[in-house]
Every structure is written in structure tokens, then in C-alpha cells.
Structure 1
Amino acid sequence: MFRKALITISFLACICLAVSANAQEAQNVTTLYWSPVTLVYPSTTFTIEDAKDINYTIYDELGAQSVHVSVITAQLYLNGAPYHMANIPITFSSDNDSIAYLEPYNRTRPSDANGQAKILLIAHNRTGFVNITAESEIIYGHRLSDTCRVRVVGWGTVSGIVTDQNRNGIHDATVTLWHWNGTANTKMLASKDNPQLSNDGRTAAPGMYTFVYVPVGSYNVTAEKEGHSYYRLIDMYEGSGTITANVAIPDYVFISPATLTPTPSASPTTGAPSATPVPTPALPALLAAGAIVAAATIKRRL
């Protein structure tokens, strides 16, 4: 028997904050999303991860004014276990560019030493599905492939200002964005900026906060400062854009830290004391003194 019949391609489980590595935690996926871009059927075989440190603006030339970038990883398998073989070409394709598309350059990638190949998936800010297929030909004439179905739910931005009972912006309040099921918080939105501290006024308005790439869904924004807290419930819909959610803590008064003004201090004198100058007589006085001396000399001669 040829080994070719036992070699398959699947997508490596590698979740980074957005989706739990345990597929069962992706509960109620029709209403709650941990990322704007997820797999329709989470499992240990098919997964996707949010891209890290990607400059989204480089895709503006492709007409994507607001995009989310994910990483698709294809893994070769042999006898049900990862097949660690390098330099095997893996070709990626997708079927719905209006929802999400693979990066347009070089969609055939060689596998690395772990038998993996990666490619970016750029999603538009709209709801829909896209099928991603990976193909490889390990033995000439026998092409293998596998497909996963990806859901894009759309996203928006949640921003606002945390204030005290006098409507003054609160510096460094802890702001947290929670998934809300209508009666209780279920889980924090998995995001690198959640929770975050409200602005102290140096880079934005005092008390301001901002969460980006928030998936469609219902949320509870909570703000806490020194044991005092309050909340704001919001709903993110497709096309919502930026939702303003100000949070006023009703039983807290923020005292702005005083601005310290440096006081100049006198510098001690370390050099030797200078001598007191002796005044020099003016020229008329010198002439007068000379005249007196001359007169005295003449009298003495007489």
C-alpha cells in the first residue's frame, strides 16, 4: 500500500486569545463571538488565529478600508499524526473574496520542518462565509486537499469616557468589555487591550478608552476606580461603526493629582571671595593734588 492514501492536510489548532483551544468553550456561536473571524465548526483539527503585529494599512491599496487579518495554518498529517516534512508545496484558495480573501501574492507555500504552511486571510467588515482550501501533491499524480469554512461576523469600535459624579474624566480607571447574554457577564472579550486603563489626559481626553475590532454582539462595559464601579450595556450590529459608551461612576469623586512646579534653588558659591576694589581718584582730583605738592615745593625753596 502506498503511504499517499494516509496523508491528509488539515488546519493546525493554534488559538491566540480569540478562540479557546477547547472547542467546547465556543458555546452559543450564533450570538457570541470571541473574534470577528472564526471557524463555523470549531474542533481540534480546524482552527484559525488572529494575526499579531500586522500593519492593516498596507491593504488599503487593495480597497480594504477596514479589514481584520487572520493567519491560516495548514498541517500535513500521516496516519492521523502531524507529518513533519519540509519543502512540500501547499496551495491555498478561497471562494468568496467579497467577505474575505487570501493575501494575493504567492498562494503556494512550502511546508516548514513541522510540515506546516501559513497564509494571511484578510476579512472585510461584513457578515458572511468563506471556504478556505489547502492542497498538496506529496506523490506525483495524487493531489490531496482539505477545506474549512470560516465565518465573518463584522465588527466595530467601542469608545467613551469614564467620569465621576461631577462628570470629570477619571484617570486610570480599569475598563473591561464583557460578553453579555441578557442577564449576566459570560466572559471577557478576548483582546490584547481588554481590560485597559482610561486615559490620564496626556494622549487623549481624561477618562477616555477605546476597544477596536469588537465583533457583532451584546456587551457590558464596566469601569472601576478605587473600589467604585459602574457599567454600560451596548449592542454591536453590523455596520455600527463606532459606538459611544460613556460610563459615569455615581458614587465617586475624582481628585486630579496636583501638578508639581519645580522651585529654583540658589547655587552655593564655591570659588574664592573676590577682593574689594579700591576706587581710583578722578583726573581733576589728581591734578589738584599735584598742584598742592608743587606749591609746597616752591615755598620750601623760597
Structure 2
Amino acid sequence: MTSGSGKLPKAKGRYVASEASLDLAEELAHRAGIPFDRAEAAALSRHLYETCFAAIVDALGFDPDAVAFSPEVFGLTTTFITADPEGGAPGGRILFDETFDLWLFALSHYSTIAAFVPIDDAGFLSLLDKMKRGLLLLARPTTRPRVLEDLRPELKTHHECLNLSGGLARALVVFVLCHEIAHGRLGHLDQREGPEIELEADREAARMFLSIVAQGDALRQSPIYIDRKLAGVPVILPRWLALVEQRMKALTGRPANHTAHPDPDRRAEATAVLLRPRMGETATVLLDALESGIDDFRRAMAAGY
């Protein structure tokens, strides 16, 4: 998303790992049989997004000084690029709200459960309620505490899903940042917002994303490593945006305005056209399953649940 004003919203600080969140991470790592370094995790939480962004720029061979990056809590649950008000970055400044990462992770975990875990009707409806609240975090960042409250028991109950849901969320962070980098490189900061420039940025971001996926083991120790089986996950993001629009219409009675952004389903199909021919069998099966789980949410919401 672009913003041509060059004015930055007021940052409200940063989220860092609390003792409670480190306790949960350590418990989940123990259940999954994964080594956990508490001190390292706490230190990484202070500069995780900067590290990821620098790794993306390096992997793509871009000039690290061409675009600036500000990960903060802005109270927006979004990511966008604007002209750098300090004038030092010709490719703009990307603002990444850390609450947006929670939105991506919560929806990744719920979608993974819906796609791969056998659950009864009561379990699905409970998951659907949490999914609906998670969707609205995009529009209501003050609901973050409730979303975290919803998410914690699902992490413990379905910790076996974390390898996939965590990888899915990380891959989507990479794609979203590639999308914003693409806006700057394509000169969109000087253009009026509209669906076509968003689709153009999606196409360029998909190419960047596939380039990172293709580097495979060379990035295995990097925070942006993406397994090839996740090559199709950028398609999932607009599927969630369609659910957000569906939920907001149910609450307000107003349809979404697509003046600045394309219809999410159109966006998903356009991205799928680029990615599916380059996906292996496992990636195709995984994407199909995730889309099927999201369709279950969509149908249930349409039926009034």
C-alpha cells in the first residue's frame, strides 16, 4: 500500500518479548522437541523485523540505502510505503506496524488448523469465532489483547501445527515487505493510489518472493528462509482480505470500497496465475488445502455463523 503524503504516523513504541511470552515460547518449543535459547529469543525480539528486512534486501541484491524501514507500533495494523520525510531514501520509507505481524500469525495458525486438523462441529465453530475476531484486528488494533487471549490456547492445543503456521506467517511477512519494496522500485509513490498499481506491485513482489524461495538452503540459517512447499502462500493473503470484507459487511451492512485496492478475489487469482505454474506438487497440495480451509470459514460466515 502506498501513501504519498510523506508524513509518518506517530509511533507508540515497540513490542519486545515479555517473561510471559518467553515462558509460552519455551513451553511450545519443549513440546515440539525444539531447542530454545531464552536469552537469544529475548535479544532477537528487539530487532527481528530489521534483521528480516535487511536479509530480504541482501537476498535480492538491492541497494540497502535505497529504501528505509521503520518497524514500530503505529496503531494501524498495516504496512505501507511513503516518501521518506528525511529525504535520504529515494525508494521511500516502509512502515511496518508490529500488530500486523500478529494478524498474519493468528490467521496463519487458525487457517492451518482448519486445513489439516480433524475437528468436530463444536470445535470448528469455536475456531471460527476466534478467526472472526482475528480478522477484525486489521480494522481494530485495540483488540490485540483479546486476539492474544484467543490464540494462546490454540498454540498449546495444536502445537503440532506451529511448524507450518509459523512458516506460513514468516513467508507472508516476506511477501508483504517485497510488495512495499516493489511500490518504491516501480515509482508508485508519485502515482495516484488505485487497484492497478497494487496488482503491479503484487506481480513484482511475487517475482521477488520466488527468487527468495529459489535460494533454498543458502538462506536456511536466515530469518527469511522459505521452504519450497510454501511457494504458493502469497495467494492466501488476499483470501483473508476477502474474509475481512465479508465480516465488515456483516457488521456494518456496507460493501467494501475498491477504489484504492482491487477486489481481493481478483487479487488472489492474479497472484495464483503467477505462482502456480512454478510450484511443485507438495506446494500445490498445501495451497489447495489452505484455500479449502478458508472456504470453510467463508461458507460458515455466509450462513450466519
TM category, shorter: under 0.3
Normalised TM-score (structure 1): 0.20
The structure where helix makes up a greater share of residues is: 2
Write 1 or 2 for the structure with the bigger share of strand: 1
Q: Which has the higher contact order (CA 8 A, sep 6+)?
A: 2
TM-score (normalizing by structure 2)? 0.20
